[in-house]
């Protein structure tokens, strides 16, 4: 099969390309506009995997350029990562998030329809659940009020896919709802690397470890949780990447009973922010300076997954615990600081 990976130079996209090239004989084509990534990532992928693949600089909002890629390649599947992805940032840039994430998806679905691509894997998010009354959440948990425009774009995206694939011939889709992807590839050469400052916990922790003068802000200490800080479900990015390969194979082998199916991708364990900081200190023997600050708009209080469906139906398994996630993130941070040209 030939697979198109949108946003392939990004964090999860790059890890997924590695797994596609290592675990299958699929051909891979990647497109990215590099708004939150760099073409240098493809060079690092080639250091890890000695298989060539094609990549192009394309913005999904440009339908003419996108169709040109589909005319050049006959795709059997699409894995769609390309999107703006920061929940806190989306509060201030809501229109930009809606326009980019929804319009890009619509153009991609137009190409799927016109060129008859049978399989689509959509990068969704646990943010579609919002604040919930019962934990853990499973795929039957009602989709709630999104706490951020980013979460809304994922919820709307799933609805659009649901409507479209039900009206396409010989097409099916899976939405993978990630919880909190973290860590870096075991090689230490690929990790979370954006030109804009990260608002995600793991990079902020590792940056505070590198810079002894940096103080990490913990947003909210008065939540109804074990220690007053938010609870999150962290899952290693390589475990998430493998799930995309399994999802493609699942659709290709026609094991799906629905034209659009959703799966949670999480560890199934919820950790508070302070517990993660303490676990990092334990794993690395490095003390982190942090301060407790006001709550941040767009954050849900607590969320963690019931991941049994993905384990049972996709044959997915989790290979990394919290300690190994943190160590891999720390190895990546050290690599970045030794290789400033990246």
The pair of structure tokens assigned to 210 is 């590198």
* C-alpha to C-alpha distances, 72 to 2, 60, 67, 69, 242, nearest whole angstrom: 12, 16, 9, 5, 27
Q: With contact defined as beta carbons under 8 Å apart, do 253 and 332 qualify? A: no
Write down the H helix ranges in 73-182.
87-92, 94-115, 149-165
Beta strands in the chain, from DSSP E residues, in sequence order: 2-6, 27-32, 54-57, 77-80, 119-125, 172-178, 180-182, 216-219, 231-232, 234-236, 260-265, 271-272, 290-293
The reply to whether 178 belongs to the active site is no
- Cα radius of gyration rounded to whole Å, the chain: 19
- Cβ-based neighbours of 5, under 8 Å, separated by 6 or more: 13, 16, 17, 20, 28, 29, 30, 31, 78, 79, 81
Angstrom distance (rounded) from CA 285 to CA 21:
35
Q: Which of helix, strand or coil describes residue 29? A: strand
Question: How far from 134 is each of 140, 220, 265, 311, CA to CA, in Å?
Answer: 12, 21, 18, 21
How is residue 127 annotated by DSSP?
A: G
Give the tokens for residue 342. 């990246």
Given 150, 250, 304, 320, the catalytic residue:
150
What is the distance between the alpha carbons of residues 230 and 43, in angstroms, rounded to a whole number? 37
Residue numbers annotated as active site: 150
């Amino acid at each position: 099969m030939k697979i198109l990976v949108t946003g392939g130079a990004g964090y999860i996209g790059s890890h997924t390309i590695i797994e596609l090239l290592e675990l299958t004989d699929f051909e891979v084509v990647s497109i990215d506009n590099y708004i939150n990534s760099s073409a240098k990532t493809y060079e690092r992928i080639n250091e890890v995997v000695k298989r060539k693949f094609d990549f192009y600089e394309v913005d999904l909002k440009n339908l003419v350029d996108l169709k040109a890629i589909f005319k050049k390649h006959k795709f059997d599947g699409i894995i769609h990562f390309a999107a703006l992805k920061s929940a806190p940032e989306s509060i201030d840039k809501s229109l930009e998030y809606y326009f980019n994430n929804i319009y890009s998806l619509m153009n991609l679905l137009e190409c799927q329809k016109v060129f008859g691509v049978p399989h689509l894997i959509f990068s969704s998010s646990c943010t579609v659940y919002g604040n919930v009354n019962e934990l853990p959440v499973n795929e039957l948990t009602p989709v709630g009020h999104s706490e951020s425009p980013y979460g809304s774009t994922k919820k709307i995206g799933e609805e659009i896919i649901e409507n479209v694939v039900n009206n396409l011939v010989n097409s099916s889709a899976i939405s993978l709802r990630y919880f909190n992807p973290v860590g870096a590839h075991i090689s230490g050469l690929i990790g979370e690397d954006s030109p804009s400052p990260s608002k995600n916990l793991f990079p902020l922790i590792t940056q505070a470890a590198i810079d002894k003068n940096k103080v990490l802000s913990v947003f909210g200490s008065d939540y109804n949780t074990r220690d007053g800080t938010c609870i999150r479900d962290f899952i290693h990015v390589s475990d998430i990447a493998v799930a995309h390969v399994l999802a493609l194979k699942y659709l290709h082998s026609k094991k799906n009973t629905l034209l659009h199916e959703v799966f949670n991708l999480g560890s199934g364990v919820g950790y508070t922010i302070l517990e993660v900081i303490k676990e990092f200190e334990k794993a690395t023997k490095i003390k982190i300076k942090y301060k407790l600050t006001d709550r941040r708009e767009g954050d849900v209080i607590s969320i963690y997954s019931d991941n049994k469906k993905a384990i049972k139906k996709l044959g997915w398994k989790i290979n990394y615990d919290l300690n190994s996630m943190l160590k891999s993130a720390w190895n990546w941070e050290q690599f970045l600081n030794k290789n400033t040209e990246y």
